[in-house]
Amino acid sequence: MRVLVTGAYGFVGNAVVRRLAEAGHDVIAMTHREAGAPLPPAPVADTVHADLLHPEQLREAVRGVDAMCHLAALTRVRESFERPDDYAATNHGGTEALLDACEAEFVRTGFRPIRIVQASTAAVYGVPEQQPIDEQAPPRPTSPYGTTKLAADEALIRRTSTGSVGAVILRAFNISGAVAGVGDPDQTRIIPKALSVAAGQAPHVDINGDGSAVRDFVHVDDLARAYVLALQACEPGTHAVYNVGATGASVSDIVAATERVTGRTVSVVHNPPKPEPPTLLADTALVRRELDWKPERSSLDEIIADAWTAVTAAGS
């Protein structure tokens, strides 16, 4: 298929583009970077320059595509409290504008639907009492980020009723690792921060309380394979939602694994505990059963080793 990937040159986008190309798809990378700006090497058939905040650009971006992986979004939970309007405009409003462009393309092509795999997040669930979290957990987001991503999910599901699109929504938990030297640069997240300390680029990792809070981590390449499988399973006029996670690990586990993998000391500073859930884990039974997906690279050591390779390559 001819597949448009929004956010194609981000951390997750890079991995998804590579897996789609390996599966034989022609990938059109959508980016809002200026034409002529340096882009990471990736096996794309074409690049289109468009911004979710400019609806007129989106109609051209979706022209002639069979499918789309929609990854472009603002993604920082803490930042979303400071910029709620920006998050709403990009994550919800931008998705609505993209879906409007898809409906226009549906009409232009004589009612040929577009298959869409959308990047969502465990943040839509908030803090469910039942663990691990399955797809039937009622969404109760606790941040503007989670709220705007849930609104985007709901917008996509509504559009399937017109037959103009088919939808698969992938709700990823914590994504890390690296593919082809592209890792997660966001040091508000625990693994990139721990690796930055190991590399001597930051003085310490801040830990709230004793570091026993457990979160679910998945290698970015395992997540990218889920996108390929979801695209194959996506049917026009239908929708499905899947959680994607793999390995539970505490903050203390991550620090210890980082020291083990890198051979470096990771200094930590313990701060007073904050009110946060002790455990947030994904129930992945549905994606394993219906998409025949399973993690292959998501042991904690492999996630950290691949991310460390990207860090050291960037610093050399």
DSSP H helical ranges for the chain:
11-22, 55-61, 77-82, 84-87, 94-108, 144-159, 190-198, 220-233, 251-262, 285-291, 300-315
Among residues 24, 298, 243, which one has the least CA distance to residue 133?
243
Rounded to whole angstroms, what are the CA distances from 4 to 61, 67, 112?
A: 8, 6, 15
Residue 176 bridge partners (DSSP): 219
Report which DSSP code applies to 272.
Answer: P
Rounded Cα–Cα distance for residues 239 and 300 (Å): 32
In the block, which residue shows the tokens 């505490």?
Answer: 250
Burial class (CB in 10 A: 0-12, 13-18, 19+), 120: buried
d(CA 237, CA 39): 35
207's enclosing H/E stretch is strand 205-208
Per the annotation, the verdict on 145 as an active-site residue is yes
Selected catalytic residue, list 87, 145, 227, 242: 145
Nearest to 68 by CA among 1, 153, 15, 160: 1
Q: Which of 224, 102, 91, 235 is nearest to 153 (CA)?
A: 91
Q: For residue 163, how many other CB atoms are within 10 A of its CB?
A: 13
Residues with catalytic function: 145
